[in-house]
């Protein structure tokens, strides 16, 4: 079911696609067929290659469900745009304690700037 009360807001949907067999080879066609603005994948599937390919296609990358601080740092290091977690406190602390800025922080910053300056 999709909600269209706020047509400018994005909608997330978790589906049952066999991601391990399809990504990144079919990511473009799969997302185009679904009208997706991004992908939401389990953290076991995330790799720098996957994130780079998704970003090359202008797709947002969310990963779920990351409750381990080390896994959260690994996801940020891979460049994901967002993390779904049950432990916001642990993940927030883990990401704040990183000694160097993550690639994902840089990417989010550039995306925010692009959105801010985009013509409406």
Give the model confidence (pLDDT) of 65-118 as tens digits. Answer: 999 999 999 999 999 999 999 999 999 999 988 755 555 555 555 444 544 554
Task: Read off the CATH number of the domain in which 77 is found.
Answer: 3.20.20.190
pTM, two decimals, is 0.68
* Domain membership flag for residue 10: no
* Domain membership flag for residue 8: no
pLDDT in tens, 45-61: 888 988 998 899 899 99
* Domain membership flag for residue 4: no
* Domain membership flag for residue 104: yes
* Domain membership flag for residue 15: no
* Domain membership flag for residue 39: yes
Structural domain of 58 = 20-117
* Domain membership flag for residue 100: yes
Sheet strands (E) in 8-85? 38-42, 60-64, 82-83
* 103 contacts 86 by C-beta, under 8 angstroms: no
Neighbours of 73 (CB within 10 A): 17
* 55 contacts 62 by C-beta, under 8 angstroms: no
Q: Is the peptide bond before 30 cis (omega within 30 degrees of 0)?
A: no
Strand order in the sheet with 60-64: 38-42, 60-64, 82-83
Considering its fold, how many domains does the chain have in total?
Answer: 1
* Domain membership flag for residue 99: yes
């Amino acid at each position: 079911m999709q909600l269209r009360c706020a047509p400018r807001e994005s909608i997330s949907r978790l589906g049952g696609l066999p991601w391990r067999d399809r990504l990144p080879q079919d990511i473009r066609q799969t997302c185009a067929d679904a009208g997706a603005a991004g992908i939401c994948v389990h953290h076991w599937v995330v790799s720098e290659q996957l994130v780079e390919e998704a970003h090359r296609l202008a797709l947002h990358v969310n990963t779920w469900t990351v409750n381990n601080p080390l896994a959260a740092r690994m996801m940020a290091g891979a460049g994901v745009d967002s993390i779904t977690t049950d432990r916001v406190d642990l993940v927030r602390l883990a990401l704040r304690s990183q000694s160097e800025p993550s690639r994902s922080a840089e990417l989010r910053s550039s995306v925010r700037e692009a959105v801010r300056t985009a013509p409406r």
